[in-house]
A and B are shown apart, each in its own frame.
Chain A
Amino acid sequence: MDMTTYALIVLGVMVLFYAGAKLLKLSTEISMFIAAAAGCVAGGFGFSARHIAEGAMTYLDINLIFITATLFMNILKESGGVAFVVRGMFRRFRRQRAILLVLLTILLLIPGALTGAGSVTVLIAGGMVSTVLLGLGVPKVKTAAIVFIVAGLSAAAPPISLWAMMTAAGVNMPYVGFFWPLMLPCLVAGLLTMFILGWRGAPADLERALEELPVPPAGMNWLKIILPFVVFLGLIVVGRTWPHETVVTGLPLMFLCAALTSYVLSPQKMDLFQISQKTIEQLLPLLGTLTCVGILVQIMTLTGVRGLLAVTTVTLPVALVFATLFIILPVSEAVLMWGAAPVIGVPLILLFNTMGLNPIVALAGMSIIWPLGDALPPTAIIGRLTVDVTGYQGSYGQFLKACLIPAVIMMIIGTLMVVYSKQLGFLTGL
């Protein structure tokens, strides 16, 4: 049997077992694990504990970043910091709609940008931002769409963009030069979404909306909110300014320092173990996905399936790839979640690189399109979470319809970034 047929058979077995597991209503993470194990057996390696352990280790460092960053965000929320910021913004700018919308966009972008997870944005700020938007008279379905789209963009925004990090790791490309190529489109698309969906709407009872927002504890002030961020940014700046004089701390430790600063400065007493335990519970789907994706990619590499996908993608007509990016990326995200990055993203970036395109800008463009898949079945994790958190009770189809215009904008921006990545190479600063 030649290598292509062998890899095709293994791929077929993996797809079959994945589909079977999904039909049995197993979670996406466990389905991926079953597909990987089945592929390993079909490839003639048996149930290889060594390769499963090896694959599970792949994203341990990224998992640590998620845990510490989300812990930081959760401590900030539990201490009343997020409520303080939202109330302060709403009280000060409730009659200046444009400024308030800009501030709400930035507020929604921060948690996901720091943690790399859109679900964290929805959980940390989604509920409060939706209260403010409803107070401004934005319909519930549009409010849910705003929270979902900006949460998705926040996950793609720097410094932590999981899709970019995982794909970059897959092609042995350092995660450097991504800041502006990710930041600019996320900001532009986020603001456009907020203004297109949130501009119209007769203000409802503003005072009532203010009353509905949670009251921050006495003693909370701006300094207590800003200081943990200063610690975090300070550690980054010190590390980059004096790289040879300072010890390498790594992002998890930086987030941990920021989290502990926030904990110490909190005006109310908090149970650190309970918050940490809830953080792990909240992050389980994400941690599970990353671990299972690592295993899946390891088995795909072992059996040659990854090579088959890479070679097939690299030999595809370029026009076809460009024209179908806006379908392939969201659909792959909907099926594999973050697994789409190493499985689909890596061969695509190899293709773009061989074509002479700028892989950093192209990958940033792809990272803008990927989050759209988080609203699509079969997974639709963040879409469903957003609907729950914002309290939207209409049909899911209407929610998707409300997301359509911003989604098209994101698809256009992302595709143009890929096509013109060479010309946009200056954004990387390299």
Chain B
Amino acid sequence: MSYLVPARYYLVILRGVILKGSGLANYPDQVGFLAPMRCSCSD
């Protein structure tokens, strides 16, 4: 079930940006999961 929760993917990005200094481009899978949700909201 946790694979469906956006927080799981957000935390990976958050730790990467804060601790590793990487950008969103380094996490295409995680961003890709969050972005379709954003698009479907406008339907």
Q: Do A and B come from one complex?
A: no
Interface set of A (CB-CB < 8 Å, partner B): none
